Amino acid sequence: MDRRRVRARPLTPQERREALIDATLPLLYAHGRAITTKLIAETAGVAEGTIFRVFDSKDELIDAAVERAFAPGEMLARIEEIDPEAPLREKLLKLAAILQQRFRAIFGLMRTLGQMGPPKHLLDEDGRAAVEQTRAAMVALIAADAWRLSVTPEMLVHMLRMLTFAGSNEQIADGQLLTPEQIVDTLLNGVQKI
């Protein structure tokens, strides 16, 4: 029996960047910008110098992790998993829960990082396109129910996002967060045709 150790294929620089971002993101939620490259390296299971082979600085790595946190990929995938044939209320409840989890995570990250507003990358063309892609997916999900509404699906999604945003922020909601049920029932009772 051959007992030679088989070495794992070395990661490409892009794969190494992604692995370091993956390791850094949860640390940001816990420690903010006070994390050290030593802690990041330990969490990623690499030598500290490895970080600087793919990132110019700790700040560049943190910025990449923050950008990942705001990327809509996971949220968009969860929206696309919702059954478009489900009843309207059920679809809205799932959307409200997804949005609420997203907003609460982002608010927590921003608070830990000491940020008052969204990262700059969300304000550029790509950032706006990502937000629009998510909004379009939500509109498409409820489009078949347009006949039941007194507002357009676009307006309903806007209202859902705004009420969920406000109802998920500790400061805006005066510490009384809204549940997805409260958000959706408030919307439906105000927009559903009788």
When pLDDT is averaged across residues 131-154 and rounded to a whole number, the result is: 94
Q: Which of 77, 80, 32 is nearest to 59 (CA)?
A: 32
Q: At what angle do helices 88-113 and 125-142 cross, to 10 degrees?
A: 160
Query: What average pLDDT is seen over the chain?
Result: 87
The 10s digit of each residue's pLDDT in 171-190 is 787 888 899 999 999 999 86
Domains of the chain: 13-68 (1.10.10.60), 72-191 (1.10.357)
Share of the chain above pLDDT 70, in %: 88
Q: Is the dihedral of CA 28, 30, 35, 39 positive or negative?
A: negative
- Residues in the chain, how many? 194
Main-chain dihedrals φ then ψ at residue 150, nearest 5 degrees: -95, 0
Q: Which of 66, 158, 44 is nearest to 118 (CA)?
A: 66
Residue 38 and residue 27 in contact, taking contact as beta carbons nearer than 8 Å: no
The 10s digit of each residue's pLDDT in 55-95 is 999 999 998 998 888 888 889 999 999 999 999 999 999 99
